[in-house]
């Protein structure tokens, strides 16, 4: 009996050693597997009706292709990725133009796939104005054919230039969308437009709309000044020297110009541009 117990004890000991070795090998393989799949390319943007194309090289060892997995908005892609180039088909996800898209391309660590048309997920400014008007209650406009959530800049033409006065987030859908923006009234003619800008391209501007308010014009005094310029009502203002350099800006009904050197200056206020002399 003793010899039989000894034999079984010896066998259990050997089995334990073998099991431990197997576990060690499996763990090493698992770590190697993680290291080989450590790379990831993340693409994020808005659906523009186009699929994404990927060049897929061999691994550094020359065994198999680089990409190991593709997900679209968290769902595993069923596209065939075991080839030198493949397409990520976005049609099955039933995206609408402007919908958010997040693509993750996992790949082995000794190679790097190349996305050929990543720019096709970038939002383009495609809005069309269907209606636009302005009055004392504010600026209102409606759009169609937006292809992504780009912000709208609101611009006012005053003092002989277009100036950005605010921004509103675009809704980004191709269906009709409506917007409104409260404006600060001044005397005389009001003129506004909206625009969108994509990085690397010029801004797209809408046509302008106008209306004329009945607010009394703001006046100022004196024309020749030692210390303060006074306005008849609170107003935004800017002061430029004769070379076009902006020296002072703000809003109020009194402006201290005592520190300005003697000379001729130009004053923007209300809806006017006038000249004054610093004595």
* 73-88 confidence digits (pLDDT tens): 999 999 999 999 999 9
β-bridge partners, 102: 44
> Is 70 exceeded by the pLDDT of residue 165?
yes
Helix H or strand E encompassing 100: strand 100-107
The per-residue pLDDT of the chain, averaged, comes to 88
Helix H or strand E encompassing 191: strand 188-196
Helix H or strand E encompassing 128: strand 128-135
pLDDT at 123: 86
The structure tokens 């003793």 sit at: 2
Task: Please indicate whether residue 171 or residue 27 has the higher confidence score (pLDDT).
Answer: 171
> Among candidates 182, 181, 98, which has minimal Cα distance to 144?
98
Distant-in-sequence, close-in-space partners of 239: CB < 8 Å, separation ≥ 6: 246, 247, 248, 249, 255, 257, 260, 265, 266, 267, 268
Task: Please indicate whether residue 2 or residue 261 has the higher confidence score (pLDDT).
Answer: 261
Q: Give the count of beta carbons closer than 10 Å to the beta carbon of residue 134.
A: 20
Question: Do residues 65 and 86 touch, judged by C-beta distance below 8 A?
Answer: no
Q: What is the DSSP string of 164-201?
A: EEEEE-----SS-EEEEE-----SEEEEEEEEE--TTS
Question: Do residues 213 and 190 touch, judged by C-beta distance below 8 A?
Answer: yes
Mean pLDDT of 175-203: 94
Q: Give the count of beta carbons closer than 10 Å to the beta carbon of residue 168.
A: 15
> Is 70 exceeded by the pLDDT of residue 32?
no
- Sign of the dihedral defined by the CA atoms of residues 73, 75, 81, 86, in that order: negative
- Sign of the dihedral defined by the CA atoms of residues 227, 232, 233, 236, in that order: negative
Question: Do residues 175 and 156 touch, judged by C-beta distance below 8 A?
Answer: no
Mean pLDDT of 2-9: 45
Mean pLDDT of 226-244: 97
The structure tokens 């009394």 sit at: 216
Task: Please indicate whether residue 43 or residue 199 has the higher confidence score (pLDDT).
Answer: 43
Strands 224-225 and 272-278: parallel
Question: Do residues 255 and 237 touch, judged by C-beta distance below 8 A?
Answer: yes
Round to the nearest angstrom and report the end-to-end CA distance of the chain. 122
């Amino acid at each position: 009996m003793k010899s039989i117990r000894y034999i079984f004890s010896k066998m259990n000991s050997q089995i334990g050693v073998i099991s431990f070795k197997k576990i060690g090998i499996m763990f090493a393989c698992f770590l190697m597997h993680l290291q080989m799949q450590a790379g990831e390319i993340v693409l994020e943007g808005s659906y523009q009706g186009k699929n994404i194309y990927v060049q897929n090289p061999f691994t550094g060892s020359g065994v198999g292709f680089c990409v190991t997995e593709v997900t679209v908005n968290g769902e595993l892609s069923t596209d065939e990725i075991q080839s030198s180039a493949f397409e990520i088909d976005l049609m099955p996800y039933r995206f609408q133009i402007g919908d958010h898209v997040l693509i993750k391309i996992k790949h082995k660590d000794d190679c790097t796939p190349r996305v050929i048309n990543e720019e096709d997920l970038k939002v383009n400014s495609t809005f069309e104005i269907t209606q636009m008007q302005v009055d004392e209650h504010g600026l209102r406009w409606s759009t169609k054919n937006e292809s992504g959530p780009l912000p709208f800049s609101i611009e006012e033409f005053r003092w002989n230039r277009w100036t950005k006065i605010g921004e509103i987030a675009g809704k980004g859908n191709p269906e009709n969308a409506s917007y409104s923006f409260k404006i600060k009234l001044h005397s005389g003619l009001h003129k506004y437009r909206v625009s969108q800008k994509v990085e690397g391209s010029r801004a797209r501007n809408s046509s302008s709309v106008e209306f004329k308010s009945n607010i009394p014009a703001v006046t100022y005094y004196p024309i020749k000044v030692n210390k303060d310029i006074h306005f008849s009502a609170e107003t935004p203002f800017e002061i430029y020297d004769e070379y076009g350099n902006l020296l002072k800006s703000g809003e109020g009904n009194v402006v201290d110009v005592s520190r300005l050197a003697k000379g001729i200056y130009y004053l923007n206020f209300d809806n006017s541009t006038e000249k004054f002399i610093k004595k």
